[in-house]
Structure 1
Amino acid sequence: MKRALVATGIAALLLLTGCTSTTTAETVTVTPGAEGTYSDGGTTVEVQPTEAPATPVEVSATPPANREATSVLTGIQLAMSSYGLNVNAEQIKTASDYACDQLANGATQDSIVALTGDIPEQANLDLVQLAADEYCPVR
């Protein structure tokens, strides 16, 4: 009986002193796509960024004006390696310069032989085509 009396006394004391437990709902408004820490009243929410969904990439057919000749020459060198040719950077530059000079003098692309030796004919045609389209405008 004493225990029940003590428990009732403690409950009454808590009520009289204002010690009660209540649950309140708080609303924190976060803009979609935002990240960071937000708080409203006593509630703090940390919002982590989410990965953006993949979107299509717009590509222009016109080469950018800031292309460098060295990057174009590297592309031509890689194209030649697809034929199994081991052509160094200086050889690619010389052959591409030759192709550009011949084109500037009025030669047709199919008449220019910029690479000689034991190479596939298509490799020479590709080098001249790539030089004409990509290298000559930026050299």
Structure 2
Amino acid sequence: MPVKYRVLELANPRDRQAPKKFYAKAVKTGDVSLRDLSKEMIQQSTISSADAMAVLEMLTQLVTKHIQNGRIVRLGDLGNFRLNIKSRGEETEDKVSANSIIGQKVIFTPGSEFKDLLKLTKFEKVAGGVTEEA
């Protein structure tokens, strides 16, 4: 099934006076929960629903724990998860402290097999007005 996209006309955020341009944006068609993944796992294997859910819940807890401890979590062909932080610039090195950190996010880097599968993705343009996304 192809990934659907629509066209948006957007302004350049760095130069609001520049002419707007048109961009393709993926259309989200829903979401998949851990429970949904669990149901798919039991349909494609011999494990029980409880076992599938337990494994997914434990994976979530362990990934979070290791990320919080500064580790890169490598999940084979799926990819890697790591923490990235953003901080304020300080005048001197000794002024940099935990209070300088103003944001954090988890970075996902897909594994080679995941990247190869993404290359096979097909796209389909959907009808819809050209609008500016907020």
TM-score band w.r.t. shorter chain: under 0.3
Bigger Rg over Cα: 1
TM-score by length of 1: 0.25
Higher RCO (C-alpha 8 Å, min separation 6): 2
TM-score by length of 2: 0.25
Point out the structure with the larger helix share.
1
Point out the structure with the larger strand share.
2
